[in-house]
Amino acid sequence: MTALHSQTLTELASGLKKGEFTSVELTQVLLDRIAAHDDKLNAFVTVTASAALATASRADAARVAGIGGALNGLPIIHKDIFCTRGIKTTCGSKMLENFVSPYDATVVQKLADAGAVVLGKSNMDEFAMGSSNETSYFGPVKNPWNPECSPGGSSGGSSASVAARFAPAATGTDTGGSIRQPAALTGTVGVKPTYGRVSRYGMIAFASSLDQAGVITRSSEDAARLLGVMAGFDERDSTSIDQPVPDYLASIGDSIKGLRVGIVRQHFDAGLEEQTGARVKEAIAVLESLGATTVEVDLPNLDMSVPTYYVVAPAECSSNLSRFDGVRFGYRADDAEDLLDLYCRSRGEGFGDEVKRRIMTGTYVLSAGYYDAYYLKAQQVRQLIADDFRKAFADVDLIAGPTTPSPAFKLGDKVDDPIQMYLNDIYTIGANLAGLPAMSVPCGLVDDLPVGLHLVGAHFNEETLLRCAHQYQQQTEWHKACPEAFK
Amino acid sequence: MSLDKDQVRHIAMLARLKLTDEEYAISVQKLSKIVDFVDQLSAADTTGVVPMAHPLDAAQRLRPDVVTESNERDRYQENAASVSAGLYLVPKVLE
Amino acid sequence: MSAAGSNSGWEVVIGLEIHAQLATTSKIFSASSTAYGAEPNTQANLVDLGYPGVLPVLNKEVVRMAALFGLAVNATVARRSVFARKNYFYPDLPKGYQISQLELPIVEHGEMFITDADGNEKRIGITRAHLEEDAGKSIHEGLDTSSGIDLNRAGTPLLEIVSEPDLRSAKEAVAYLKKIHTIVRYLGISDGNMQEGSFRCDANVSVRPMGQEELGTRAELKNLNSFRFIEKAINLEVERQIDRIEDGGTVVQETRLYDSDKDETRSMRSKEEANDYRYFPDPDLLPVEISDEYIEAVRESMPELPVAKQSRFVDEYGLKIDDAEILTASRALADYYEAVVEATGATAQIAANWVIGDLAGALNREGKDIGESNISAADLAGLVSRIHDNTISGKIAKQVFEAMWDGEGPADEIIAAKGLKQITDSSAIEAVVDTVIADNPEQVAEYKAGKDKLIGFFVGKVMQETKGQANPGQVNQILKDKLSS
């Protein structure tokens, strides 16, 4: 039998069902791994060992009674952006260092109802603002493939955990690439569903019109399994879409023969590291070998996506983060002289540099005299970008390309240059601006560091993405590659 | 177009952020870079383009006018730094 | 100093922003109760508190209420309206932004008619009415160096009704405000309670030399929480502005607070600094879309409005127009009146006299609303019927009314218990008349000599003898007959 920590969610589900091991045994194995190795990665903010074992024990009883849910007894990790009742939810910030949520996010609730066992809360860039996990108040997460490198961000703790076999799956959130970029840089699968597919209720907001919850796993099949539970309408989220959730697992085994795969010329321009580009092309060749046809598509406004994002996202964040004022929750500065001092110091001391920078950028682009030139203009360009995708999807079923311009970069390398950091999301941001489903699939190594194949689908077409990725994974072994130190 | 120190001070005040002198210096430099970067947008031809506020073309759903919440004040106030007699406390607000 | 009311040479320009709290059960974006007067923060849930991760979902009722208002004031009800965030920091604003509407409000281009000083009908434009959430409350009393924040009111739905600057005096402003106040209560979309803050008003006031086209610089008056204060505050502000300009100064654009204790307005500079609300469409809420069918359904449900009701009262009940206006001032009063009429039959004017007269007087005396009347419409109808069928005289009826008000029971019981039934038996009255004539020969002689006025003396005597219970008409007739024989 493969070691428990190396098994996928699907394999573990089968093992539990057959009684090969119990959820308590499995949970203990993973908790031991986390205890033994997380000091090398800093992937966790909170490990919920005793709660996890208690849940696992209930799951075991439920299984015996034949009443367990779809994920009964299966271990997962939550990004620390999801509110968890009775457990600290820090969002990677000093502002929420001691915040204990009085309620569960819908995603947390749904996974709990399905019987999932939560091992803990994963480290992340502060308020999900970052692409390297270096903005976390709790220190950077390290890449299991090379501890000198970033695991990507903002869901870096989730991606590192899944890559290091701390858990078979983790939740994440993606505003401009925060699931897919870390997945690519750690050799894991990351799925950002269609905007509105998964409830945002209880997910601490960064940029409300872009944020979407998703999953990080090792196989597309596992992602389909988890997503099927997380997705669906939520009456507490006005932007949640009331559409039935298909059974993603039902069609995952179907052939991709005849699938029209769009290749964006601009994706392979300057800016893409050569070896990374080569791995992606090889992956596309695999899809062709499976019967997919490639079609060249044009996204003429692609180069505008990063500047558009860096107006829209900060604008929304500047408003979303106004609620952190030291009064009802969160960090409160001591001995405030007056109300203004309380506000300015609580926020000035409670937020880190990148968060403050984004709040100020957002404040600026919305302020009198600049709104039209920046915010309104960005909303218009956003429309152009969405139109580009709309046109492209008239001819293709999905678009394939690189997830990131290069493999994982060294921690500290880009921290001083916000623009360089922002450009890391150049291929992923478009899907957020247009609200499209997208995923990253491991497709090879460059100098012993993983890179990812990026797939983007039409609205609510997660099924095609998951099927394509699954078929690819039937032909390749990249998703089974494990960093040497975590075998 | 870059930002100067006064603009950054004004923005920080609007955003209620207290910055140290050192943070101000760095902010002026980094925010200017970001603003210069997003200035690229001015090159896009957006004549007649409808601004896009939402990724999906959907309408607001309406909730029935029913009260389903009850008093959970004590639980909700556990996260507050300063409360008295059920009130959240702030330094005296002068009217 | 210019005396109030004599602002000769100056034209006053006023626009009002009215905040009407909508009479929903739950809040605009959350399922918390909107009930007034609860213990602090017991009606503030996670959404109202702006907890991390929570999201707003719009209350169906507020859309209906706004649409109803829009139709009632001949406005355009937007088929698509958008919520925006108004960003600013204040302790009573938990999220650091207020959800409101800016560019695409739900109601636009409405109108309301008032009667101006010359008695002419005047149109006041309603620029817009938009939906927004109310803020909480800061409490200062009893706390030393702190202010306390109560967020029970945070998230209560408001309809902000903005007028054109069409009002030309404090009186017009009050007349307009009263019209809006009446309308929202008629529609049942707001209780209009000014004391509890469910109907509030800010006034934008400016002055300009007569004949000048360009508007003067305006001041925004806040905290106007009664009709009386609004009139006083506007007049004070007008005087202040004219004095200032006449003294060679200028008016600055600012927010001023009316202090009813000191009877003055004063600048609120603290609120002025760096007002940059950075409005943008709220990404947590989608555009509100309303269909034509929906608008029609709302129109169908529209109750009869004051103007229509007033003319119906004149046509149907034959009331004087002034009486009809008073009776239709509130839907509750009009409903009460109609209930009285319905229960009494063909005595509409008598019923009107009693509702407007004694009943209104008694309510006023005790500071009560028609809904809190000691006498039900059915009971008042009982009294009116007894007047109508001559069981009691109007004078006796006043006595019965007071007894009813004091809770002594319905009219018939009181009349029976106190023996107040009117004497209509001619022979009984004749007997008393005969006695009176016999007892006052001197006056009889004078009367017969032509002193007609003495008839009152004889009537008085007869009424005295009958303790007021004789039918006055009959007494008069019998006296005249007997004295002229």
CB contact under 8 A, A329 and C51: yes
Q: How many CB atoms lie within 10 A of CB C366?
A: 10
Q: Which of A365, A380, A382 is nearest to C280 (CA)?
A: A365
CB contact under 8 A, C53 and A96: no
* Calpha distance C35→C42 (Å, rounded): 11
Q: Which of A471, A462, A442 is nearest to A163 (CA)?
A: A442
**C touches which chains (3+ CB pairs under 8 A)?**
A, B
Give pLDDT, residue A269.
82
* Calpha distance C235→C2 (Å, rounded): 11
Give pLDDT, residue C274.
56
φ and ψ of C446, to 5 deg: -60, -45
User: Which alpha helices (H) appear in C273-327, and where do they start and end?
Assistant: 292-300, 306-317, 321-327
Q: Give the closest of B11, B56, B76 to A360, CB-based.
A: B11
| Alpha-carbon distance B33 to nearest alpha carbon in chain A (angstroms) | 8
Residue B8's H or E segment, with its range, is: helix B5-14
Residues of B in contact with A322 (CB under 8 A): 16
Give pLDDT, residue C85.
98
Taking CA atoms, what residue in C is nearest to B58?
C286
Give pLDDT, residue C207.
95
CB contact under 8 A, B41 and A238: no
CA A200 to chain CA mean position, Å: 13
Q: Is the CB of B25 inside 8 Å of chain A's CB atoms?
A: no
Q: Give the closest of C89, C276, C283 to A208, CB-based.
A: C283
* Calpha distance A143→A402 (Å, rounded): 19
Q: Is the CB of B66 inside 8 Å of chain A's CB atoms?
A: no
Residue C154 vs residue C268, higher pLDDT:
C154
Residue C272's pLDDT band, with cuts at 50, 70 and 90, is very low
DSSP for A172-235 reads EEESSSTTHHHHHHHT-EEEE--TTTB--TTBPPSSTTT-EEEEEESSHHHHHHHHHHHBS--T
Mean pLDDT of C114-133: 94
Q: Which two tokens stand for residue A188?
A: 């894991």
What ipTM does this complex have? Answer: 0.97
Give pLDDT, residue C3.
42
- Per-residue pLDDT at B61 exceeds 60: yes
Q: Which of C59, C33, C14 is nearest to C165 (CA)?
A: C14
All domains in chain C, ordered by first residue? 19-169+179-191+256-294 (no CATH), 304-418 (no CATH), 426-483 (1.10.10.410)
Mean pLDDT of A432-447: 98
Residue C273's pLDDT band, with cuts at 50, 70 and 90, is low
* Calpha distance A104→A171 (Å, rounded): 14
Best residue of A129, A340, A363, A415 to probe chain B, by most B CBs closer than 10 Å? A363
Q: Which of C23, B46, C78 is nearest to A372 (CA)?
A: B46
Residue C348 vs residue C154, higher pLDDT:
C154
Mean pLDDT of C10-37: 97
- Per-residue pLDDT at A487 exceeds 60: yes
Mean pLDDT of A154-161: 98
CB contact under 8 A, B17 and A339: no
* Calpha distance C192→C180 (Å, rounded): 10
DSSP reduced 3-state for C85: strand
Give pLDDT, residue C145.
87
End-to-end CA, chain C: 72
Best residue of A101, A107, A201, A322 to probe chain C, by most C CBs closer than 10 Å? A322
- Per-residue pLDDT at C271 exceeds 60: no
DSSP for C185-247 reads HHTTS----TTTTSEEEEEEEEEEETT--SPPPPEEEEEE-SHHHHHHHHHHHHHHHHHHHHT
**Contact between residue C164 and residue C114 where contact means Cβ atoms under 8 Å apart:** no
φ and ψ of A223, to 5 deg: -60, -40
CB contact under 8 A, B18 and A378: no
CB contact under 8 A, B63 and C274: no
Q: Is the CB of A3 inside 8 Å of chain C's CB atoms?
A: no
Residues of B in contact with A432 (CB under 8 A): 55
Q: How many CB atoms lie within 10 A of CB A404?
A: 28
Taking CA atoms, what residue in B is nearest to C267?
B95
* Calpha distance C24→C33 (Å, rounded): 9
Q: Give the closest of A96, A319, A329 to C87, CB-based.
A: A319
Q: Give the closest of C57, C91, C97 to A322, CB-based.
A: C97
| Alpha-carbon distance A237 to nearest alpha carbon in chain B (angstroms) | 9
**Contact between residue B56 and residue A459 where contact means Cβ atoms under 8 Å apart:** yes
Interface of B with C in 23-52 (CB under 8 A): none
Residues of B in contact with C147 (CB under 8 A): 89-93
**Contact between residue A152 and residue A185 where contact means Cβ atoms under 8 Å apart:** yes
Give pLDDT, residue C4.
43
| Alpha-carbon distance C91 to nearest alpha carbon in chain B (angstroms) | 7
Mean pLDDT of A375-379: 97
Inter-CA distances, A297 with A176, A260, A306, A392, C248, Å: 22, 11, 20, 6, 70
DSSP reduced 3-state for C278: coil
Strands (E), A345-420: 398-402
Mean pLDDT of A23-39: 98
Give pLDDT, residue C5.
47
| Alpha-carbon distance C157 to nearest alpha carbon in chain A (angstroms) | 18
Lowest mean pLDDT among A7-16, B20-29, C88-97: B20-29
Q: Give the closest of B39, B56, B90 to A342, CB-based.
A: B90
Q: Which two tokens stand for residue A319?
A: 């408003």
Task: Read off the pLDDT of residues C50-89 as tens digits, 9 standing for 90 and up.
Answer: 999 999 999 999 999 999 999 999 999 999 999 999 999 9
- Tell me the pLDDT of chain C averaged across its residues: 91
Q: Which two tokens stand for residue A274?
A: 């050569």
Best residue of C25, C33, C41 to probe chain B, by most B CBs closer than 10 Å? C41
Q: Which residues of A are catalytic?
A: 79, 154, 178
Mean pLDDT of A360-372: 96
Give pLDDT, residue C263.
85
Q: Is the CB of A351 inside 8 Å of chain B's CB atoms?
A: yes
Mean pLDDT of A191-206: 98
Q: Per CATH, which fold does B5-39 belong to?
A: Histone, subunit A (1.10.20)
Give pLDDT, residue C142.
82
> Which architecture does CATH list for A4-258?
Alpha-Beta Complex (3.90)
Mean pLDDT of B31-55: 95
Give pLDDT, residue A437.
98
Taking CA atoms, what residue in B is nearest to C96?
B15
Q: Which two tokens stand for residue A304?
A: 């505008």
* Calpha distance A190→A167 (Å, rounded): 14
* Calpha distance C285→A366 (Å, rounded): 18
Mean pLDDT of C212-223: 90
Task: Read off the pLDDT of residues A171-187 as tens digits, 9 standing for 90 and up.
Answer: 999 999 999 999 999 99
The DSSP 8-state label assigned to residue A373 in this structure reads I
**SS3 sequence, C343-376?**
HHCCCHHHHHHHHHHHHHHHHHHCCCCHHHCCCC
**B touches which chains (3+ CB pairs under 8 A)?**
A, C
CB contact under 8 A, B49 and A383: yes
Report the DSSP beta bridge partners of residue C202: C17
CB contact under 8 A, B63 and C60: yes
Taking CA atoms, what residue in C is nearest to A206?
C53
* Calpha distance C324→C347 (Å, rounded): 15
Task: Read off the pLDDT of residues A389-429 as tens digits, 9 standing for 90 and up.
Answer: 999 999 999 999 999 999 999 999 988 888 888 888 999 99
- Per-residue pLDDT at B10 exceeds 70: yes
Instruction: Tell me the domain boundaries of chain B.
Output: 5-39
Inter-CA distances, C243 with A262, A263, C246, Å: 74, 74, 5
CB contact under 8 A, B16 and A210: no
* Calpha distance C14→C242 (Å, rounded): 14
